[in-house]
Amino acid sequence: MAQTQPTRDPRLFIHNLVKRDPLTGLAEDVRKGLTAYPKRFLPKYFYDQLGSQLFEAICLLPEYYLTRAENEILERYADEIAAAVDGDKTLVEMGSGSASKTRLIIEALLRSQSELMFMPVDISATALESSSRILLQSYPRLRIEAFAADYFAGLAELGKKSRRRTLALFLGSNISNFDADEAHRFLHAMRSVLKEGDALLLGADLKKDPAMLEAAYNDALGVTSAFNLNVLARINRELGGTFDLHAFRHRAFYNEGVGRIEIYIESVLNQRVRIENLDLEVQFEKGELIHTENSYKYDMAGIARLATATGFACSRSWFDSQERFSSNLLLAA
């Protein structure tokens, strides 16, 4: 059951749906991932405090075009996006994080309606409270009802809430982190809480020159490498691991056959690593890979098929000036 955290601001309510100790979840998932074949880590564990700061730095890199391209779209077309859904609206966002890009949509909505309810969902209650308080200081006509939860628990709770016509956001090409089955499952769940006439703005990175794609995940300064390897440092810090970060390296490449960037951590030598809190020793062969993340790239036909298969109709799409990234308005059919 959601626990509502009291706040001093009557415009802010935070429901905490996180049910288990995050450290317990990390331990279980690390054990499962390192005893699997091939070995893997879940990308959600990138985002401890340091990892989140490294990702913010990645978004500023010259090679990482995604954030700039999406910002360009929202800066140019926010009013069109807001007007594409009729009437006064409630704004919902999945995986809101710092909500920096969300401001552009909030401002567009507040230009056309007297007040706005914003309902963000994010796994981190701390991040939600911090971003919410900053937004409320900026926008006196904004109210926030936030949900600290994973996507599916957050959607289940949102489904119980009465809302005006809804514009939902899933920005940053977060859909790229799902494989095909996961993307269908997520969008089906999203559609189940939307009514006919509601809409989802879906950010999706587009297929393009593999050299540009690979550069975005292999920056010259090595920030993406530090972000990827930080998961090993986190295991050392939180679970008593003995990973030597110099004995591993970051690998990222475009698999054109399946249309995705694949991200790995590679062992550069034969070695054994102990994780004290798990009472676990793990053998790594030289060249062995730990899979950490995929980032799928889309074409417009693929986005349309995904929308149709999950109960949406792709109404409009907006692009940055170089047509590297797309923001797609999916109407609840």
Q: What is the pLDDT along the chain (333 residues), one digit of tens a residue?
A: 445 555 578 999 999 987 766 667 899 999 999 999 999 999 989 988 899 899 989 999 999 999 999 999 999 999 999 999 999 999 999 988 778 899 999 999 999 999 999 999 998 888 889 999 999 999 999 999 999 998 999 999 999 998 999 999 999 999 999 999 999 999 999 999 999 999 999 999 999 999 999 999 999 999 999 999 999 999 999 999 999 999 999 999 999 999 999 999 999 999 999 999 999 999 999 999 999 999 999 999 999 999 999 999 999 999 999 999 999 999 998
- Give me the domain span that covers residue 163: 65-208+298-332
Specify the CATH number for the domain of residue 328: 3.40.50.150
Instruction: Write down the pLDDT at residue 275.
Output: 98
Q: Which residues of 128-138 are buried (b: 16+ CB within 10 A; e: fewer)?
A: bbebbeebbee
Other Cβ atoms less than 10 A from the Cβ of 184: the count is: 14
Kindly state whether residue 9 falls inside one of the protein's structural domains. Answer: no
Co-location of 305 and 186 in the same domain: yes
Return the percent helix, strand and coil in the chain, to nearest 5.
Answer: 40, 30, 30
Q: What is the pTM of this model?
A: 0.92
Count the domains in the chain. 2
Who's near 328: CB < 8 A, 6+ residues apart?
201, 202, 203, 204, 303, 307, 314, 316, 317, 318
Co-location of 90 and 191 in the same domain: yes
Q: How far is CA 1 from the centre of its chain?
A: 24
Nearest in space to 166 (alpha carbons), one of 98, 94, 97, 100: 94
CA distances from 125 to 23, 84, 90, 111, 181 (A): 15, 31, 21, 29, 28
Co-location of 53 and 81 in the same domain: no
Nearest in space to 173 (alpha carbons), one of 85, 255, 95: 95
Co-location of 180 and 253 in the same domain: no
Co-location of 114 and 48 in the same domain: no
Kindly state whether residue 287 falls inside one of the protein's structural domains. Answer: yes
Co-location of 256 and 194 in the same domain: no
Kindly state whether residue 97 falls inside one of the protein's structural domains. Answer: yes
Kindly state whether residue 51 falls inside one of the protein's structural domains. Answer: yes
Asked if 252 contacts 263 with a C-beta cutoff of 8 angstroms, the reply is yes
Instruction: Write down the pLDDT at residue 20.
Output: 63
Co-location of 200 and 311 in the same domain: yes
Co-location of 180 and 53 in the same domain: no
Kindly state whether residue 19 falls inside one of the protein's structural domains. Answer: no
Kindly state whether residue 141 falls inside one of the protein's structural domains. Answer: yes
- Look at the chain and count its residues: 333
Type of residue numbered 163: R
Kindly state whether residue 27 falls inside one of the protein's structural domains. Answer: no
Co-location of 202 and 307 in the same domain: yes
Co-location of 250 and 318 in the same domain: no
Kindly state whether residue 150 falls inside one of the protein's structural domains. Answer: yes
Co-location of 220 and 202 in the same domain: no
| Phi (first) and psi of residue 196, to 5 degrees | -55, 130
Co-location of 86 and 167 in the same domain: yes
